[in-house]
Structure 1
Amino acid sequence: MRKILLISGKRKCGKDFLSERLQKRLGDRALIVRISEPIKTEWARKLELNLNSLLSDGPYKEQYRRDMIVWSDEVRARDYGYFCRMAMTQAPLDLVDVVIVSDIRRTNDVRWFRETYGDDVVQTLRLTSLPETRKARGWNFTAGVDDVASECDLDDYQFDCVLPNDAEMSSEQLIEKVLKVFKLS
């Protein structure tokens, strides 16, 4: 049965880390899709930026993050599913059992996936981490980034599962929990 797992969480809570570990564990049965890729691709083209640096997890991306958020919100105001649709063009749904969407950030992202693929296919996971854990991973609060919809829109959403990603569980235990909760193994 095909599943689409939408992963949400604040910056530096481990969304990409978990997604990559989960995909590795599931092998060819799974594929990671990132909504941020079409956003960054279009932003890089628009401003003639280095796309690889923009896709990386470093300071280059951070200097453009706030403006990129504003611009992507303007695009979403015209078509809330635009970036979700663009991201899913990379997912050969007939070839994989599980699509892991590693960066769900807005209620309209979840809405688009549920409307497009159905509640029986789409499942949601929220990763949480304490501020001190996130700081240890390189996070620093940034006004205009950490206090806007791209970070806060899903704070009150009712996820299918919420898991802490601090020191209580090893990464392997976290993966095992996700596999069990979402019946992916």
Structure 2
Amino acid sequence: MIEPKKIIIVSGKRKSGKDCFSDLLSSKIGFEHCDIIRLSSPLKEQYAKIHNLDFTRLLDSSSYKEKYRDDMIKWGESERNKDSEVFCRLATQIASKPIWIVTDARRPSDIEYFQKYYREKTILLRISCSDTTRINRGWKFVSGIDDAPSECALDNGIEWDFVVHNDDNNNDTNVHAISNKIQKLLHVLL
């Protein structure tokens, strides 16, 4: 792990466009300058090992992952109760580039970790969109998941440095709209 120059923490609901935004931001900055860090990766990797599951299938947005999501969330919460920094620490160990884009902050403890160790380098960015847009992207409300802390803990009480509204459903238009938003933010972000 190298010491980062800048950390962009991306948060948002399921199907809000966090990964799309993060991938486009990374391409605009230059892949050679930034690491995409997914806090959920070490959680999913450990969960897969314990339960003898396919780790790579837990990383995508498949029905396979959805089948285990509720139990993974409960297991992850249990692990965080033992050590609130465990998954942030594990996820950042792979960082080798000066800019980190953290794609999936979901809890106050995620933000607290980066502000504790990298306060001056951290930028908090929230991706938001309407439930209608999320539904059009394949989201369906699941009780126990969409009303759980893993989805709702950052809805209030956080002062975001930037909020990106991502309500366009046409993929080509959406990529173009997000690219324009990223271009406008880049000079401030970095």
More helix by share: 2
Q: Do structure 1's residue 55 and structure 2's residue 59 form an aligned pair?
A: yes
What pairs up with 1:163-174 in 2 under 5 angstroms?
163-167=164-168, 170-174=177-181
Code of the residue aligned with 1:29 in structure 2: it is H
- Deviating runs (4+, > 2 A) in structure 1? none
Deviation per CA, 1:66-115, whole angstroms, max 9, x where unpaired? 100000000001110000000000102xxx23100000000011001111
1:177 positional shift: 3.0
Q: Which residue of 2 aligns with 1:177?
A: 184
Code of the residue aligned with 2:154 in structure 1: it is L
Whole-Å separation in 2 of the counterparts to 1:161 and 1:56: 27
Q: Which residue of 1 aligns with 2:50?
A: 46
Whole-Å separation in 2 of the counterparts to 1:5 and 1:122: 6
Q: Structure 2: where are the runs of 5+ without partners?
A: 169-173
Whole-Å separation in 1 of the counterparts to 2:98 and 2:185: 15
1:174 positional shift: 2.3
1:170 positional shift: 1.0
Code of the residue aligned with 1:177 in structure 2: it is K
1:176 positional shift: 1.4
Q: Which residue of 2 aligns with 1:138?
A: 138
Whole-Å separation in 2 of the counterparts to 1:181 and 1:60: 39
Q: Which residue of 1 aligns with 2:36?
A: 32
TM-score (norm: length of structure 2): 0.90
SS of equivalent residue, structure 1 residue 120: helix
Q: Tell me the matched-pair count.
A: 179
Q: Which residue of 1 aligns with 2:17?
A: 14
What pairs up with 1:35-114 in 2 under 5 angstroms?
35-92=39-96, 96-114=97-115
